[in-house]
Chains A and B, each alone.
Chain A
Amino acid sequence: MSRQPHSIDELQDIVSRLPSTRNEDWKYTDLASARDISSRWLAAGRESLSLALQDEVEAVTHAIDANWIVIANGELQHPIDVNGASRLDDAPSSDTVLAELNAALLKDGLRLRIEDALDKPIGILMIDGTEDASVSQAYVEIEFAPGASGEIIEYHASKGDADQYANTIVSVALGDAASARHLRVQNRAAHHVQTGHTSVSVGRDANYTMSGFDLGGGLIRNDVIIDIAAAGAEVSFDGLYLAGEGQHIDNHTRVDHRVGPARSRQEYRGILNGHCRCVWNGKAIVHEGADGTDADQANHNLLLSEKAEIDAKPELEIYADDVKCSHGTTVGQLDETSLFYLRSRGLDKRHATQVLTHAFASDLVARMPVDAAKEALATVVEHRLAELLDSDPDTFS
């Protein structure tokens, strides 16, 4: 091991330096609870008994036909029966405090190397559940060799009443002409905290398609960082976030177009009900010389309650001449005319609302990149939407 074990003071110091709301990138998302959970867990000796997670693991791995790798409370579950998968000792320490925390506390990293065309999706289930407050780290490195292709499912889940903070880092590298389809599902328990970082580097003529679904969690922050440093790349990603009473979901995305021609598009949609807050910050940077860039970003939000709050911010920085960039952000309520139309056909207000919110999300569910997971995900989304409508008692009063 190259890494020196950290003393408790060093670890407490890292925790104390987790981003605060004084940092512009973290203006709307307060990690006080993550700091508090981490600090208590460190003081208590970093031990907490695992809950039985077998049922929860099977609920996911049986519903979606994939080759699954399970990381429970930060520990790889053996045997790892997937070609090209191996354990990593270390995560590279990088310039952010979250990466530093990840590297300092990581138990097991995971490396996936995909050499050719996968015939079945690879699923990585990161699940946490402990009796007392706990903190877990996951670090996953996925590398697609030149010309390789395949589908990856990244599934985050958690269980239990105890406080939990998960800090996950997923890094995807696509070789030239590689093609990756990536589904990310975050369905944590209602009060749990997660910071999730996804970074993607895209090779020449490579194709990357991703969909993220944020269905659960108490305080969730996702960062998706995409780096296009070779010509001919095609990047497409979607995000759906469903936030109910008490939830906070923050999606920050950043796409760096360093060379052209290349295309990126993103569409995030949110449905919010009750007292909750969501953030979408989509940044696209077209660097000098990246001519022939085509970048499109969209964010649409449906607010079902006056208590719901969305902070939506598209950011375009363009330093090249020959580019096509667009962005659009909308925030709205349910369309009253559509609602009346459905009610005049005999659907009660709740049912009509459910139909319309479902329709709002339907494009993203339909476009979901991993066919094997489509049915299971559609069911989870449907169920979550129904819960969401009932999470604010005022919505149908």
Chain B
Amino acid sequence: MLEISNLHCSIGDSEILRGLSLSVNAGEVHAIMGPNGSGKSTLAQVIAGHQDYEVTAGAVTYEGKDLLDLEPEERAREGIFLGFQYPVEIPGVNNAYLLKTAVNAKRKHQGLGEVDAFEFLKLAREKMAALGMDPKFLNRGVNEGFSGGEKKRNEILQMAMLEPKLAILDETDSGLDIDALKAVAEGVNSLRNPDRAIVLVTHYQRLLDYVKPDFVHVLSEGQIVRSGDKSLALELEDKGYDWVREAASA
């Protein structure tokens, strides 16, 4: 589904990704771990199409298409979803409006008609209940005045409504208390299916107690220095990132 080969990417004068390669297939859950500054969030942002990052070498294909050729909105409509590490507060834009507009943008791209307003609200309320979200959040400004946990649940709600093929969740677990973490993990698990791939970008392995990854990759200085199964995450937790850094430079 997603093929990243030898990706080099810079912001301003500093090179963040330095020859990163990764292959993600439908049905798989990948965890990308690494210390702060290793390039995890950059990778997530580049896949979603953030304009501040300049790809200087390498290639990214998504379902056979050159992903780097697509605008951010085209990527979204093709089924890529980025759950933001810091979801943006947008006062004055109604949460329900954004959800519906996003769903309709994708449906239009697929040649489908707009969603029925009644069905849409019903579905949104169901998904919110499953995430432990108060339905009143639908009528608030997007993330406006939301707590950290509410913002992350709201990202998962958007993901659940948009049903992406490839979901990238950037530090969705950071700043969550245990209840919120469980709710978010359940939301992610409920989306696991053979047609969908999920990439979890995380600093800690605690999310991985609830969402079991098929593959774990360790990112250091812009490259994947180690890949393995979920036991790698536990090993990291045990030995710390210095262990990987030393192993990489050895």
Cross-interface CB contact of B98 among A342, A348, A360, cutoff 8 Å? A342
Q: Which of A338, A340, A360 has the most CB of B within 10 A?
A: A340
Q: Can you give 9 contacting A-B residue pairs, CB < 8 Å?
A: A344-B49, A344-B72, A344-B73, A345-B76, A346-B73, A346-B101, A346-B109, A347-B102, A359-B90
Task: Give Cα distance in the complex from A324 to B100, angstroms.
Answer: 44
Residues of A within 8 A of B141 (CB): 359
| Shortest Cβ distance from residue A332 to the other chain B in the assembled complex, whole angstroms | 14
B92 touching A345, Cβ below 8 Å:
no
Choose, from B11-19, B80-88, B196-204, B218-226, the stretch at the interface.
Answer: B80-88
Is B217 interfacial (CB-CB < 8 Å)? no
CB proximity to B under 8 Å, residues A356-382: 356, 358-360, 362-363
CB proximity to A under 8 Å, residues B72-117: 72-73, 75-77, 81-82, 84, 87-88, 90-93, 98, 101-102, 105-106, 109
Q: Which B residue's beta carbon lies closest to that of A357? A: B92
Residues of A within 8 A of B109 (CB): 346
Task: Give Cα distance in the complex from A341 to B73, angstroms.
Answer: 10
Is A343 interfacial (CB-CB < 8 Å)? yes
Residues of B within 8 A of A347 (CB): 73, 101-102, 105
Q: Which A residue's beta carbon lies closest to that of B50? A: A340
Residues of B within 8 A of A8 (CB): none
Residues of B within 8 A of A32 (CB): none
A344 touching B92, Cβ below 8 Å:
no
| Shortest Cβ distance from residue A323 to the other chain B in the assembled complex, whole angstroms | 30
A343 touching B71, Cβ below 8 Å:
yes
Is B48 interfacial (CB-CB < 8 Å)? yes
Task: Give Cα distance in the complex from A344 to B93, angstroms.
Answer: 15
Residues of A within 8 A of B76 (CB): 343-346
Q: Which B residue's beta carbon lies closest to that of A337? A: B88
Residues of A within 8 A of B52 (CB): 336
Residues of B within 8 A of A348 (CB): 71, 73, 105
| Shortest Cβ distance from residue B176 to the other chain A in the assembled complex, whole angstroms | 20
CB proximity to B under 8 Å, residues A107-133: none
Is A49 interfacial (CB-CB < 8 Å)? no
Is B42 interfacial (CB-CB < 8 Å)? no
Q: Which A residue's beta carbon lies closest to that of B48? A: A344
| Shortest Cβ distance from residue A349 to the other chain B in the assembled complex, whole angstroms | 7
| Shortest Cβ distance from residue A73 to the other chain B in the assembled complex, whole angstroms | 39
A345 touching B105, Cβ below 8 Å:
yes
A341 touching B102, Cβ below 8 Å:
no
A340-B51, A341-B84 known; A355 vs B71 contact (CB < 8 Å): no
A347-B101, A348-B71, A355-B101 known; A341 vs B106 contact (CB < 8 Å): no
Task: Give Cα distance in the complex from A363 to B77, angstroms.
Answer: 30
Residues of A within 8 A of B158 (CB): 345
Task: Give Cα distance in the complex from A355 to B73, angstroms.
Answer: 14
B92 touching A346, Cβ below 8 Å:
no
Chain A residues proximal to chain B, CB less than 8 Å? 335-338, 340-349, 351-352, 355-356, 358-360, 362-363
| Shortest Cβ distance from residue B156 to the other chain A in the assembled complex, whole angstroms | 14
Task: Give Cα distance in the complex from A336 to B50, angstroms.
Answer: 10
Main DSSP-derived SS at the A contact region: helix
Give the total of B residues in contact with A, Cβ under 8 Å. Answer: 29
B92 touching A363, Cβ below 8 Å:
yes
Residues of A within 8 A of B93 (CB): 355-356, 358-359
Residues of A within 8 A of B88 (CB): 335, 337-338, 341
Task: Give Cα distance in the complex from A345 to B98, angstroms.
Answer: 8
Task: Give Cα distance in the complex from A179 to B73, angstroms.
Answer: 49
Cross-interface CB contact of B92 among A336, A349, A359, cutoff 8 Å? A359
Task: Give Cα distance in the complex from A344 to B87, angstroms.
Answer: 12
A340-B72, A356-B93 known; A346 vs B87 contact (CB < 8 Å): no
Residues of B within 8 A of A358 (CB): 92-93
Residues of A within 8 A of B49 (CB): 343-344
Q: Which of B50, B72, B90 has the most CB of A within 10 A?
A: B72
| Shortest Cβ distance from residue B203 to the other chain A in the assembled complex, whole angstroms | 21
5 tightest CB-CB pairs across the interface, nearest first?
Answer: A359-B92, A346-B105, A346-B76, A345-B102, A343-B72
Task: Give Cα distance in the complex from A337 to B82, angstroms.
Answer: 13
Q: Which of A344, A346, A348, A356 has the most CB of B within 10 A?
A: A346
CB proximity to A under 8 Å, residues B9-35: none
Cross-interface CB contact of A344 among B82, B101, B106, cutoff 8 Å? B82
Residues of A within 8 A of B162 (CB): 345-346
Q: Which A residue's beta carbon lies closest to that of B79? A: A346
Q: Which B residue's beta carbon lies closest to that of A343? A: B72
A359 touching B91, Cβ below 8 Å:
yes
Residues of B within 8 A of A338 (CB): 88, 90
A343-B72, A344-B48 given. 12 additional CB < 8 A pairs?
Answer: A336-B51, A340-B72, A341-B90, A342-B90, A344-B73, A345-B98, A345-B101, A345-B105, A348-B105, A359-B90, A359-B92, A359-B93
| Shortest Cβ distance from residue B25 to the other chain A in the assembled complex, whole angstroms | 23
Interface string of B38-64 (1 = CB under 8 A from A): 000000000011111000000000000
Q: Which A residue's beta carbon lies closest to that of B51? A: A340
Task: Give Cα distance in the complex from A79 to B209, angstroms.
Answer: 79
Task: Give Cα distance in the complex from A352 to B88, angstroms.
Answer: 14
A362 touching B73, Cβ below 8 Å:
no
Cross-interface CB contact of A346 among B50, B84, B90, B106, cutoff 8 Å? B106
Task: Give Cα distance in the complex from A347 to B90, angstroms.
Answer: 15
Residues of A within 8 A of B84 (CB): 341, 344
Task: Give Cα distance in the complex from A340 to B88, angstroms.
Answer: 10
Task: Give Cα distance in the complex from A351 to B102, angstroms.
Answer: 11
A341 touching B101, Cβ below 8 Å:
no
Residues of B within 8 A of A349 (CB): 71, 73
Residues of A within 8 A of B102 (CB): 345-347
Q: Which A residue's beta carbon lies closest to that of B93? A: A359
